Structure 1
Amino acid sequence: MQFLKWGAAAALALSLAQISAPARAASGKTLETVKARGVLNCTGHDGSYLGFAEVDDKGNWKGMDVDLCRAVATAVFGDPAKLKIVPISWAQRWPSLQSGDVDIVIKASGGTLSRDTELGLQFSMSYYLGTTKVMAHKELNLKSLKDAEGGTICIPAGTTIEQQVAAYSQKIGIKLEPVVIEKTEELEQAYFSGRCDLYAQWGPVLAIARVAKGKVEDHVILPDVIAVEPEVMILRQGDDNWVDVANWTLSALLFAEQEGITSKNVDEIKAKPTSPAVAKFLGAAPGMGKGLGLPDDWAYNVIKKVGNYAEIFDRDLGKDSPYKMDRDLTNLWNNGGVLFPLVVD
């Protein structure tokens, strides 16, 4: 995948000025830094973001974003436990990454031009394609957002959703009163308590929140699609090897699903690979790790200990989760979706 690069020396100078000294020191050497530390520091949500990052009653993190953090930790160390989830607010994602406090941001974050060209960030391939939607109290009898003129709308602070709602409202010619709140729990409390008429959020979060509150019949998700945003893993610019590690980890999850390799059958397939590409992928033949600075069996470890993409989706968001979400566009290319793995050759 081709990643966006700085196109001018002035832009590069601006990027370097914005990145703190610890980040500059780590630039280009994140993998070595993580290995030396013995643990991956991965950005987590600062509260429940159901289905993507949540904490159970024993203090254990779970969710899709958390499992992707585990997958990267497993690629590096062969052990998903060598991971520290660092709870950080939406607004602190970028300073924490730039300062070197975290190694990678996996926090339902979109790839945008300003994040690339103004903040000095770099993106992986998309691991989830989400739409921004709006939920409304059913009693308001709204058919679309155009009917909500003058209403109050809860919006998560520090996210692109603020700009998306403003742009869409202007486009359809209505005015809304924003209620901007950072923490997801407080945001949802404001909406469900009636402080806001509307709740703008990433579509999957709205669907999950409605189920989690047991109020599916009392709230409607309006048909308006405010925006479509690819969710990506986010890293510092200037460290292509670390971006490669993130991309190939995601690709490994997708390739395994495409080839029918799961955590349950991976040992059997490694013993009798179905193709030269699969043999290389699982470390039965050499070549999967050297160019990345990883062992040749890193992808085998990821699938064995974390699962393929479908296994992760199903347990965190899909049929094996409380939320029973469909994959829709976040499906493989050969199953009606837009996701695809890179080629193992």
Structure 2
Amino acid sequence: MQLLKWGATAALALGLFQLSAPAQAAGGKTLEAVKARGVLNCPGHDGSYLGFAEVDDKGNWKGMDIDLCRAVATAVLGDPSKVKIVPISWAQRWPSLQSGDIDIIIKASGGTLSRDTELGLQFSNSYYLGTTKVMAHKELNLSSLKDADGGSICIPAGTSQEQQVAAYAQKLGIKLQPVVIEKTEELEQAYFSKRCDLYTQWGPVLAIARVAKGKVEDHVILPDVLAVEPEVMIVRQGDDNWVDVANWTLTALLFAEQEGITSKNVDEIRAKPTSPQVAKFLGATPGVGKGLGLSDDWAYNVIKKVGNYSEIFDNDLGKNSPYKMDRELTNLWNNGGVLFPLVID
């Protein structure tokens, strides 16, 4: 009887919490700070991270991480240009977020236990599933990392790859000599000048580096997968509304792709929605914005001004970019991948 009474009380409390959650969500402190400032502060790189964050010859930032920042800015402020890119190193990510110098980390960063429990961070759903791999000079004739015992390996400083290399080497029973360098350009220079036998990085970065250097035939990406890491958007703990904004912005990009809504046809579909969900999503009927503290046309603005997920990927990494990367696992659930939108209801 006591248990039944507790269960009823808990259910009532949960119901009250759920009823009150939207009202609380609409007043998130980071959201209000960004609105008041009129600009979203996002991290760049103190150098280039090709395909994800790089500066063109006119000084303009571009890349997938940059476009995701622009998508969040558009959701909140209605304008993708209202983003300030703050160049920071890998090690500066966490103190810059915790101090309030940046509002959100979209910087090819994974969600980990220590970042959650020790640094006080929280994460969005994954926007890219990446593997940590190793590239080697072809002349070394390595078939796998196990053949590289005693070799030197270039590792980006301040990243999870340091621990991943150490753990994987221990698993194989080999010893590697780490050469840890923070800036990506200096790291790649060390590898391509043969200071290092090996270069470990996020798989897409290795593939892009080979292409960018024009030396695809001289380097081999070994079959070893050191880790699989979901890349996420990262915010401070204690502001659930702000991580909701990040998650629903990502859902907007994925839902639009799933439903065939692009920057080119979004006006046509908004005028004649294909379903009640699409009508709500594009603001043709009300309800998509209030609980988040956003306008009802926020998702429409994101797709119209930034594009859906596939448009972003193709422009920054895929067929419309210099890198011509395949999406592989970073595809929609209905196209052989692992990404999916949350439900618009």
Distance in structure 2 (CA, Å) of the matches to 1:128 and 1:192: 27
**Where does residue 161 of structure 1 map in the other structure?**
161
**TM-score (ref. length: structure 2):** 0.92
Identify unmatched segments of 5+ residues in structure 2. 1-26
Distance in structure 1 (CA, Å) of the matches to 2:194 and 2:168: 23
Structure 2 residue matching 1:158: 3-state secondary structure:
coil
| Letter matched to residue 92 of structure 1 | Q
Q: 1:28 to 1:294 in 2, by over 3 A?
A: closer
Query: Contact conserved, 1:131 with 1:203, CA < 8 A, in 2?
Result: yes
| Per-residue CA distance 1:281-326 (angstroms, 9 max, x = gap) | 0000000000000000000000000000000000000011000000
Q: 1:1-345 counterparts in 2 under 5 A? A: 28-345=28-345
**Where does residue 20 of structure 1 map in the other structure?**
none
| Per-residue CA distance 1:179-230 (angstroms, 9 max, x = gap) | 0000000000000000000000000000000000000000000000000000
Q: How much does 1:28 deviate? A: 4.6
Distance in structure 1 (CA, Å) of the matches to 2:104 and 2:224: 32
Q: Larger C-alpha radius of gyration, 1 or 2?
A: 2
Structure 2 residue matching 1:250: 3-state secondary structure:
helix
Distance in structure 2 (CA, Å) of the matches to 1:28 and 1:116: 20
Query: Contact conserved, 1:53 with 1:61, CA < 8 A, in 2?
Result: yes
Distance in structure 1 (CA, Å) of the matches to 2:205 and 2:82: 28
| Letter matched to residue 246 of structure 1 | A
Distance in structure 1 (CA, Å) of the matches to 2:59 and 2:320: 21
Structure 2 residue matching 1:251: 3-state secondary structure:
helix
Structure 1 residue matching 2:85: 3-state secondary structure:
strand
| Letter matched to residue 255 of structure 1 | F
| Letter matched to residue 54 of structure 1 | E
**TM-score (ref. length: structure 1):** 0.92
Q: Which runs of 4+ in 1 moved over 3 A?
A: none
Sequence identity, in percent? 90
Query: Contact conserved, 1:122 with 1:236, CA < 8 A, in 2?
Result: yes
Q: How much does 1:45 deviate? A: 1.4
Distance in structure 1 (CA, Å) of the matches to 2:238 and 2:95: 16
| Per-residue CA distance 1:237-283 (angstroms, 9 max, x = gap) | 00000000000000000000000000000000000000000000000
| Letter matched to residue 280 of structure 1 | K
Query: Contact conserved, 1:28 with 1:238, CA < 8 A, in 2?
Result: no
Task: Number of aligned residue pairs: give it.
Answer: 319
Name the Cα RMSD after superposition.
Answer: 0.7
Distance in structure 1 (CA, Å) of the matches to 2:28 and 2:158: 28
| Letter matched to residue 255 of structure 2 | F
Query: Contact conserved, 1:263 with 1:307, CA < 8 A, in 2?
Result: yes
Q: How much does 1:44 deviate? A: 1.3
Distance in structure 2 (CA, Å) of the matches to 1:256 and 1:130: 23
Distance in structure 1 (CA, Å) of the matches to 2:151 and 2:106: 33
Q: How much does 1:328 deviate? A: 0.4
Structure 1 residue matching 2:130: 3-state secondary structure:
strand
Identify unmatched segments of 5+ residues in structure 1. 1-26
Structure 2 residue matching 1:288: 3-state secondary structure:
coil
| Per-residue CA distance 1:86-116 (angstroms, 9 max, x = gap) | 1110000000000000000000000000000
Distance in structure 2 (CA, Å) of the matches to 1:102 and 1:28: 16
| Letter matched to residue 87 of structure 1 | P
Distance in structure 2 (CA, Å) of the matches to 1:291 and 1:44: 30
Distance in structure 1 (CA, Å) of the matches to 2:51 and 2:57: 15
